[in-house]
Amino acid sequence: MLSLILVIGCGAIVVGYFQVAFWSIACEHQTRRLREILFRSILNKEIAYFDINKTGQLSTRLTEDVNKVHDGTGDKLGSALQFISAFIAGLVLGYIELIIFIKYYLLDLDWLKDGN
């Protein structure tokens, strides 16, 4: 039994590592794509737009906005999905255990016939 628990624990560590790695890779791809789109939209602006807005302000805003998206979609999204799926799996397993308990212990009244 102990070896089974160790195998499950080691498997959870490996799967957790890949979960974080893949979510980080997906987040990096998304932020890179977002930076490219925002940069191209800035390049397509009229000249008068740059007279009103300062260039340093645009680059700072671009960096801050993309970093906010990166922070929000990186590990947080993966962790939220993991916690939601663990909650649902816990509910399902709890109801399965409840059904098994009711079926084998409460509905099986043979233990009353033994005289105990």
Report how many domains make up the chain. 1
The CA R_g of the chain, rounded to the nearest whole Å, is: 27
The model scores a pTM over 0.95: no
With cut-offs at 50, 70 and 90, classify the pLDDT of residue 14: very high
CA distance 105 to 1: 25
CA distance 35 to 60: 12
CA distance 33 to 70: 11
Q: Show the domain range for 105.
A: 2-113
- How far, CA to CA in Å, does 19 sit from each of 6, 15, 22, 25, 78? 20, 6, 5, 10, 7
Q: Is the pLDDT of residue 93 over 60?
A: yes
AA letter at 1: M
Q: Is the pLDDT of residue 3 over 70?
A: yes
> Using one digit for the tens of pLDDT, what is the confidence trace for 22-72?
988 988 898 899 889 988 988 888 888 878 878 778 788 888 888 888 888
